């Protein structure tokens, strides 16, 4: 579930499917707006997980190294 809709039946459906939404933005737009936002959030999360440098790779000094 990308987002929590303001529509009455949406929370019932989420509960039935045992799902938690990624976003709760008070939207009642439809047309897949929550999915469009959610897919970008997932894409960014995957990039952070797989492409972000470690402290060592980025040359960040530890507390001991900076003394």
Q: Is 65 a catalytic residue?
A: no
Tokens of 26: 């008070």
Catalytic residue among 7, 31, 57, 67: 31
Distance CA 9, CA 23 (A): 17
The terminus-to-terminus CA distance of the chain in angstroms comes to 48
What positions carry a catalytic annotation? 31
């Amino acid at each position: 579930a990308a987002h929590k809709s303001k529509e009455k039946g949406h929370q019932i459906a989420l509960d039935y499917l045992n799902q938690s939404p990624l976003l709760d933005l008070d939207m009642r737009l439809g047309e897949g707006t929550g999915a469009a936002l959610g897919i970008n959030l997932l894409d960014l999360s995957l990039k952070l997980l797989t492409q972000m440098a470690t402290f060592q790779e980025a040359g960040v000094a530890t507390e001991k190294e900076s003394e």
